[in-house]
Structure 1
Amino acid sequence: MNEEFKKFVRDYIERCDEVLRKSDIRKAEELQELIINTFGEFIPNITSTLDNYEYSFGESRQVDFLGDINKLKEKLRLLSITGVGYSIKDKRLNSVVNVTNNNDNGINNSGNSTNNNTNTINNTIDIKAELYKIREKIEDDEILDDNSKEEIQSKLNEIETVMDENPSNNEKWKKLKSVITWTTTKGYKIGEMIMPLLIKVLFPGQ
């Protein structure tokens, strides 16, 4: 595990500490979902023992989101400190290897493949982090009404879905054209946040 990835993990641990310090249940629920989506590919059985994933369907009770954040924090600490029991060579990254090898005809050795895989991982991490920051800005914005916030979050979900699917560049363009068009109809403030994110997703090598 490289130092950049370790730093990224530690940043999430600090976010856990902040949520726990403030006892913010709403933020805890949001952060739980983000951690699972971000690190689910790196931490086996990441939802194991989480209260949110253990109660029965239809059961009426309060989910202990703060307790879940504390558990996720410990899993992240283990990933950051030792990496024991955690594998980077999972299905998602193996598919990245195949895509890289199929698309880059000039790559015939493991060294170049490793570099490309590392770049892909780092780009994904950067985008996930940026998505989180944008979502926080939107939710904390006192000028935007609830409908506007919901609309923006929906577009961010579209971007994240396309990124997670890891389609070809042409497919990315087709799927995100509507989001680009939508962004151009909004004001500078929204465009300033979302356009750089779109560029990173569409043109990861730039």
Structure 2
Amino acid sequence: MSNQDKVSFIQSFVDRIDAAIAANDVDGAKRLQSEIISTFASDIPNITSQLDARAGYHVYRQLNGKIDTPIKYIEDLGILRNRLVKLQLDIKEPIKETSSTPLISLTQIQNQTTNIQIDFDITVSAIEKIPDSSLSQEDKEILLGKLTSLKGCSDKKTKWDKCKGILKWLADKGVDVAIAVLPYLLSILKNS
């Protein structure tokens, strides 16, 4: 399988994750999480690290038939999405433009989506540049998962609720982290 085929294969999973997050489909997220873990376990070390569904507390409670707290499969998908995107970036070769004629016909909705994507990519880049002494790698993955789950929201109230949760989480992480994330949060809320 060529690198481009691998990137396309991974992208198919990223697209499925985006759809599950956008639909807030918990059952689909649960199935997709299992499929991703079994497919990419050999390619991504510690793929289950920091996943709520794999947390020892939930595993113990499930084995004893006592599930009293919901497992956050949607947020877990956000974490897995970021790991898959990182895998893509690790194997991606520069893809040459095949069309000499640029596509000019874009709608307003596509432009807004593109602007949000650029803001998200800039935010991800800023988070990855934060030194591990300010924000551990695990916290970076958690934060990226939270931001990815926010990205899939279309309801204004849900966006606000997720933003509040992220802001609370950011409160004890330091100024560098807040500087990296706040512009993205504001753009998400502004575009609601």
What range describes the TM-score normalised by the shorter chain of this pair?
0.3 to 0.5
Please report the TM-score for the alignment, with normalisation by the length of structure 2. Answer: 0.45
Please report the TM-score for the alignment, with normalisation by the length of structure 1. Answer: 0.42
Greater C-alpha Rg: 1
Q: Which has the higher contact order (CA 8 A, sep 6+)?
A: 2
